[in-house]
Every structure is written in structure tokens, then in C-alpha cells.
Amino acid sequence: MTGTIHYVDLEGGFYGLVADDGTRYLPLNLDASFRKDGLRVRFEAVPEDVLTLQQWGRPVRLTAIEVD
């Protein structure tokens, strides 16, 4: 999938990932080197069945990510 990293200024601030189809993902293991608002990426992820404080997007664990 492809999408864009976004900084979300809620609950103290965090980085989310918005796929090109508009789906919002909350990557639980986003490396600091990818925490750049507006960064275009290609990624693969698996859903995680967890509750988060952010209550934004679907929690996922990234299995692959690279700059697009």
C-alpha cells in the first residue's frame, strides 16, 4: 500500500498513516526515521487487536516500510 505519514496533534501528539484510499492506520512500531509529517511511503502492515489512547485509525504493526 502507499500513503502519507501525518502528525496528529491529539492526546499529546502522535504519527499516523493515511493510505491513498483514505484509510487511517495507527502504526505501533513506526521507526523515528519515518516520523516526518507529509512523508510519502510504501508499507505493509498487519492489524493488531489492541486498544489505544489515541482512538484514531486502525492499530497496525508495520512489517515493511520505505520512502515512496
Per-residue pLDDT reduced to its tens digit, 8-53: 999 889 999 999 999 999 999 999 999 999 999 999 999 999 999 8
Total domains in the fold of the chain? 1
Q: What is the CATH number of the domain that holds 45?
A: 2.40.50.500
CA–CA separation, 46 vs 42, rounded Å?
14
3-class SS letters over the chain? CEEEEEEECCCCCEEEEEECCCCEEEECCCCHHHCCCCCEEEEEEEECCCCCCCCCCEEEEEEEEEEC
Q: Which of 39, 3, 47 is nearest to 23 (CA)?
A: 3
pLDDT, mean over the chain: 97
Q: Could you tell me the residue range of the domain that residue 36 belongs to? A: 2-67
Q: Give the pLDDT of residue 44.
A: 99
Mean pLDDT across 39-68: 96
